[in-house]
């Protein structure tokens, strides 16, 4: 799938999806630490009938896989979040819409009938936060995923080198890349799903800007655990804390009443030098696994089946 994406997408879009922060040390750790795991099979066990079903936050799902919140999906393909949500629902699982989708919360909800969660970065504008929470509740999103590992936007040097911006900047290089990727370009021009549907306009409307600049305007760098408690009360339903890498943070999430924690380093796209998630998962699960649901994010590529 990664190689198919490389051939279909312009280089700047592929690098936006594929890349990590700075030297991509954490991105490499995520993959490497999974590769170093060993499977110790217990054979001569009856596996003629196997079920992968499980429950998360009380919802029964057919596979132990939930879609991670991923923004700007319409930039990769014009069907974007709607297509992803329907694919996840066909699999029998839960779709999580990102804080910066290219389809509005309501449109995804109307076109994808399965279970859905809503992810949020907390804006300094608390009235806007409350409005988004209300829209999510009214559209039928059943749980809130609060991402805490973004007090600042990650410095993604691949994006800086390629000149990746939102909206994409028109240049001779981007035009040439568009000609080399006609299928992507046709969808891009026809549907124009490349600006977050939920973002307010910047100081210059929807002027071209680096993603890190857009984040700097919209993320509350002063966010604390007290704000999470406020957010919990405003939401009034199940909520998960995403970006947990430490046992003490997981314990604190349990204490404020979180329904679950998502052990995540943002796919290596935020803090370069953070540990891989698989390396800290067992200690976090041991500390809070009896109190709330523990979900792993970052580093998953495939599952051996033989």
User: Would you state the pLDDT for residue 185?
Assistant: 86
Structural domain for 172, as ranges: 2-35+56-296
For residue 254, give the CATH number of its domain: 3.20.20.70
Active site residue 266: yes
Q: Is 0.85 topped by the overall pTM?
A: yes
Q: Which residues of 82-177 form beta strands (DSSP E)?
A: 95-97, 116-120, 143-147
Is residue 82 a part of any domain in this protein? Answer: yes
Q: Which helix (H) or strand (E) element contains residue 87?
A: helix 80-91
The residue to which tokens 């410095």 are assigned: 155
User: Would you state the pLDDT for residue 151?
Assistant: 80
Is residue 78 a part of any domain in this protein? Answer: yes
Is residue 249 a part of any domain in this protein? Answer: yes
Is residue 50 a part of any domain in this protein? Answer: no
Domain count, the chain: 1
Catalytic choice (40, 77, 181, 266): 266
**Mean pLDDT value of segment 202-228:** 68
Is residue 45 a part of any domain in this protein? Answer: no
pLDDT single digits (tens) 134-185: 999 999 999 999 999 988 778 889 988 887 877 777 776 777 877 888 888 8
pLDDT value at 78 more than 80? yes
Q: Which residues of the chain form beta strands (DSSP E)?
A: 54-56, 59-61, 95-97, 116-120, 143-147, 239-244, 260-263, 293-296
- Residue 143 dihedral angles phi and psi, to the nearest 5°: -145, 155
Is residue 118 a part of any domain in this protein? Answer: yes
pLDDT value at 203 more than 50? no
Is residue 302 a part of any domain in this protein? Answer: no
Reported confidence tier of residue 212, pLDDT bands at 50, 70, 90: low
Is residue 287 a part of any domain in this protein? Answer: yes
């Amino acid at each position: 799938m990664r190689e198919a994406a490389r051939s279909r997408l312009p280089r700047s879009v592929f690098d936006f999806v594929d890349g990590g922060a700075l030297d991509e040390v954490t991105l490499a750790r995520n993959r490497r630490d999974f590769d170093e795991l060993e499977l110790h099979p217990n054979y001569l066990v009856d596996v003629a009938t196997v079920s992968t079903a499980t429950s998360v936050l009380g919802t029964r799902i057919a596979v132990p896989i939930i879609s991670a919140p991923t923004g700007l999906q319409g930039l990769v393909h014009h069907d974007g979040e709607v297509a992803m949500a329907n694919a996840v629902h066909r699999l029998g699982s839960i779709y999580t819409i990102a804080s910066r989708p290219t389809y509005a919360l309501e449109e995804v909800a109307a076109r994808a009938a399965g279970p859905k969660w809503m992810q949020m970065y907390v804006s300094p504008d608390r009235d806007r936060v409350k409005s988004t929470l209300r829209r999510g509740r009214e559209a039928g999103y059943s749980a809130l995923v609060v991402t805490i590992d973004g007090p600042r936007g990650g410095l993604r040097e691949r994006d800086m080198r390629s000149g990746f911006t939102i909206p994409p900047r028109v240049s001779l290089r981007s035009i040439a890349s568009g000609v080399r990727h006609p299928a992507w370009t046709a969808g891009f021009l026809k549907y124009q799903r490349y600006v977050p549907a939920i973002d307010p306009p910047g100081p210059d409307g929807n002027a071209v800007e680096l993603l890190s600049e857009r984040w700097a305007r919209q993320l509350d760098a002063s966010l604390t655990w007290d704000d999470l408690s406020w957010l919990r009360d405003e939401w009034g339903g199940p909520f998960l804390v995403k970006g947990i890498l430490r046992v003490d943070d997981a314990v604190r999430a349990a204490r404020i009443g979180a329904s679950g924690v998502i052990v995540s380093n943002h796919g290596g796209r935020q803090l370069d030098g953070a540990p891989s998630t698989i390396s800290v998962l067992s200690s976090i699960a041991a500390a809070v696994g009896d109190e709330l649901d523990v979900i792993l994010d970052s580093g998953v590529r495939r599952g051996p089946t033989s």
